[in-house]
Amino acid sequence: MNNSIRCLTLAVGALLFSARGTAQVAPLVANIDARQTTSLDGSWQVIVDPYDVGSVDYRTQPLKNNHAFYKNHKPDSESELVEYDFDTSGQLHVPGDWNTQRESLLFYEGSVWYERSFDYAKSPKNRLFLHFGACNYLAAVYLNGEELGEHEGGFTPFDFEITDRIKPRGNFLVVRVNNTRRKDQVPTSNTDWWNYGGITRPVTLLEVPETFVQNYFVQLAKGSTAEIAGWVQLNGPKLQQNVTIRIPEAGISKTFATNSLGRAEFTFTAGLTLWTPENPKLYSVEIATEADPVTDRIGFRSIEVRGTDILLNGKSIFLRGISMHEEAPTRAGRAWSEDDARTLLGWAKQLGCNFVRLAHYPHSEATLRMADQMGLLVWAEVPVYWTIQWENPETLRNAENQLSAMIARDQNRAALIIYSVGNETPISDARNLFLRHLIQDAHSADPTRLVSAALQSTEEAKGNRTIVHLNDPIGSDLDVLGNNEYIGWYSGRPADADSMDWTSPYDKPLIMSEFGGDALYGYHGSASARWTEEYQADLFEHQISMLRRIPFLRGMTPWVLKDFRSPRRTLPRFEDYFNRKGVVSDHGERKQAFFTLEKFYQELQSGEPPK
Ligand code: GCB
């Protein structure tokens, strides 16, 4: 893109989302299911607006009058010109992507306006928040014709306080969601997954007391299996008061005073049954002020690294994993519900997994909570993918926001053990600096979990063998090395893996975070023929025998659980806009590679981890 076009693109983007950065997004209210909630899910009225005529006039100046769609204006007389009407423009279901709800929107990238009316009788002393699980990618939110604020980032939750704006009757909420890809965004314009647009996760009203429990961290202290260390953050006028942490089943009740900033930090000992994949024990934990008792289900486990070992509750563990996108298991589109999570994670369990890599962006809270219940350890990731604008401070701020929102939402999930700050990012000084910021952010927001990234390696021919070096400089900053490789698919043949020997300059554990190849379910032939199930299964066989020979390997998440939609995958018959590297098809059928992997995971479960 030349510079003048680029400036124009940025200027239009800035106009459409003029208040970006000054948005009135409130600090995240954690654990919304434990609050007094009203769902705003269901059918919303929508206007598809590819030219953004609902936001800007023909001189691209922001609209402020009744022509602006957020005013939801109706003509006052038969002579008044109003060129939009939510009531007669059609509907979409929320939550849900727009792409798979209307055939004409499958490839659509642009703005869609959503509108929904509601009544709400709030108790006079309470406060009210409007919570979005996620909107992809930019959301501008308006209540009763006034702007509440904007949010950037397609996979993280956000809240607005609407205490003073809500009316008992006749509220109208308008949201413009825009999923135009841009280079400065996170992710950038180039990815290998579908750019599902829309209000993709639930919308909820949260009513809380005037001073309420905003967020909390109740986890085992780093390296301990007997001491809980954490904090509570209150929000409201009465910041200094007592907070009690109760875990009735473990006979624990501890009271702490919050400081003038509404924060209490605490440590106390606790005799707990530890959370493991085999016994995912969750305790009912109450974090209570006088006015606001919040209950969560929390598991307790420790996670550490010692040399090349990953220690769960002090014991070395091998992570039998699979990578997955958040795509609905057997229907088309973005997954978002508890049932979706149960099905997808259920397939991972059936494979024999104790670990899932939730690629390439924060998955829904429902998925994290389901992983907690089902006993699946989690690698969670932010969409710092491929070629982010490493030198752009706004891009870094955006990535940092997404990372901190993910941590704020999921930091009490025992299942979650690894934060990943990037996927296949090309090495440069600017990129190293960018990733180091994120690594530092993750460690300081949550010192108990491990930080990783999916890196790439370099190969060196040595006689008739190939030495693979895990020499990405960012490895020195990570707790766990991740590596993606496509031996036998993008490079060479599957049998090339037999002559590969892996070395690492770091005394750290490695998770092979991707490997794989495409196969069309039901397409059979020779193992040397691309797209056959036999090719994919054979590739897995060669990979597995190579992985057995990597002494510092402590986990693997092959690519990928299920075939997923991708605009990059245009080949008719085999791809048809699907990445076919799933071990399960887009209809939920198992390919041969599923059974190859299952067999290996059964072997690992019955014996010692490969060392
Ligand atoms: C990768 C990416 C993943 C792609 C995959 C592929 O390295 O991390 O997002 O989908 O390769 O299939 O090419």
Residue range 287-304, pLDDT digits in tens: 999 999 999 999 999 999
Task: Report which ligand 1 atom has the smallest distance to the Cα of 564.
Answer: 10
Three-state SS for 523-547 is CCCCCCCCECHHHHHHHHHHHHHHH
Residue 513 Cβ < 6 Å to ligand 1: no
Q: What percent of the chain has pLDDT over 70?
A: 95
Residue 425 Cβ < 6 Å to ligand 1: no
Does 1 have pLDDT greater than 80?
no
Residue 52 Cβ < 6 Å to ligand 1: no
Residue 559 Cβ < 6 Å to ligand 1: yes
Task: Report which ligand 1 atom has the smallest distance to the Cα of 579.
Answer: 12
User: What average pLDDT does the segment 276-286 reach?
Assistant: 98
In the reported structure, the alpha carbon of residue 429 is separated from the centroid of ligand 1 by a whole-number distance in angstroms of 24
pLDDT band at residue 332 using 50, 70 and 90 as cut-offs: confident
In the reported structure, the alpha carbon of residue 170 is separated from the centroid of ligand 1 by a whole-number distance in angstroms of 47
In the reported structure, the alpha carbon of residue 515 is separated from the centroid of ligand 1 by a whole-number distance in angstroms of 9
Does 62 have pLDDT greater than 80?
yes
Task: Report which ligand 1 atom has the smallest distance to the Cα of 490.
Answer: 13
The label of the residue with tokens 């809270």 reads 365
Cβ-contact 19, 149 below 8 angstroms = yes
Residue 385 Cβ < 6 Å to ligand 1: no
How far is Cα 412 from Cα 400, in angstroms, rounded to an integer? 19
The number of angstroms, rounded, from the C-alpha of 414 to the middle of its chain's C-alpha atoms is 16
Closest CA to ligand 1's atom 7: 484
User: What average pLDDT does the segment 110-133 reach?
Assistant: 98
pLDDT greater at residue 560 or residue 2: 560
User: What average pLDDT does the segment 391-408 reach?
Assistant: 98
Task: Report which ligand 1 atom has the smallest distance to the Cα of 484.
Answer: 7
Task: Report which ligand 1 atom has the smallest distance to the Cα of 359.
Answer: 9
User: What average pLDDT does the segment 61-82 reach?
Assistant: 96
In the reported structure, the alpha carbon of residue 506 is separated from the centroid of ligand 1 by a whole-number distance in angstroms of 25
Beta-bridged to residue 264, according to DSSP, are: 232
Does 316 have pLDDT greater than 70?
yes
In the reported structure, the alpha carbon of residue 302 is separated from the centroid of ligand 1 by a whole-number distance in angstroms of 31
Cβ-contact 186, 123 below 8 angstroms = no
User: What average pLDDT does the segment 420-444 reach?
Assistant: 98
In the reported structure, the alpha carbon of residue 83 is separated from the centroid of ligand 1 by a whole-number distance in angstroms of 43
Choice from 188, 190, 191, 192 to test ligand 1 binding pocket (greatest atom count within 8 A of CB):
192
The label of the residue with tokens 């401070």 reads 393
In the reported structure, the alpha carbon of residue 386 is separated from the centroid of ligand 1 by a whole-number distance in angstroms of 10
Closest CA to ligand 1's atom 9: 192
How far is Cα 296 from Cα 167, in angstroms, rounded to an integer? 31
User: What average pLDDT does the segment 537-548 reach?
Assistant: 98
Task: Report which ligand 1 atom has the smallest distance to the Cα of 423.
Answer: 8
Residue 609's pLDDT is 56
Residue 144 Cβ < 6 Å to ligand 1: no
Choice from 559, 562, 566, 583 to test ligand 1 binding pocket (greatest atom count within 8 A of CB):
559
Residue 569 Cβ < 6 Å to ligand 1: no
Closest CA to ligand 1's atom 3: 192
Choice from 382, 514, 578, 580 to test ligand 1 binding pocket (greatest atom count within 8 A of CB):
514
pLDDT band at residue 25 using 50, 70 and 90 as cut-offs: confident
**Predicted confidence (pLDDT) per residue in 338-382, tens digit:** 999 999 999 999 999 999 999 999 999 999 999 999 999 999 999
How far is Cα 26 from Cα 409, in angstroms, rounded to an integer? 14
In the reported structure, the alpha carbon of residue 158 is separated from the centroid of ligand 1 by a whole-number distance in angstroms of 29
User: What average pLDDT does the segment 457-476 reach?
Assistant: 97
CA angle 391, 394, 399 (to 5 degrees): 90
Task: Report which ligand 1 atom has the smallest distance to the Cα of 191.
Answer: 9
Residue 302 Cβ < 6 Å to ligand 1: no
Residue 518 Cβ < 6 Å to ligand 1: no
In the reported structure, the alpha carbon of residue 350 is separated from the centroid of ligand 1 by a whole-number distance in angstroms of 23
Residue 581 Cβ < 6 Å to ligand 1: yes
User: What average pLDDT does the segment 118-123 reach?
Assistant: 97
Q: Give every CB contact of residue 118 below 8 A, 6+ residues apart in sequence.
A: 40, 171, 173
Pairing mode, if any, of strands 252-257 and 212-220?
Answer: unpaired
Cβ-contact 426, 458 below 8 angstroms = no
In the reported structure, the alpha carbon of residue 192 is separated from the centroid of ligand 1 by a whole-number distance in angstroms of 6
Q: How far apart are the first and last CA of the chain?
A: 49
In the reported structure, the alpha carbon of residue 238 is separated from the centroid of ligand 1 by a whole-number distance in angstroms of 50
Does 412 have pLDDT greater than 80?
yes
User: What average pLDDT does the segment 557-581 reach?
Assistant: 98
To the nearest 10°, the Cα dihedral for 47, 49, 55, 61? -160
Pairing mode, if any, of strands 553-556 and 510-514?
Answer: parallel
Q: Give every CB contact of residue 164 below 8 A, 6+ residues apart in sequence.
A: none
Does 108 have pLDDT greater than 60?
yes
How far is Cα 494 from Cα 450, in angstroms, rounded to an integer? 32
User: What average pLDDT does the segment 549-559 reach?
Assistant: 98
Residue 579 Cβ < 6 Å to ligand 1: yes
Does 596 have pLDDT greater than 60?
yes
User: What average pLDDT does the segment 297-322 reach?
Assistant: 98
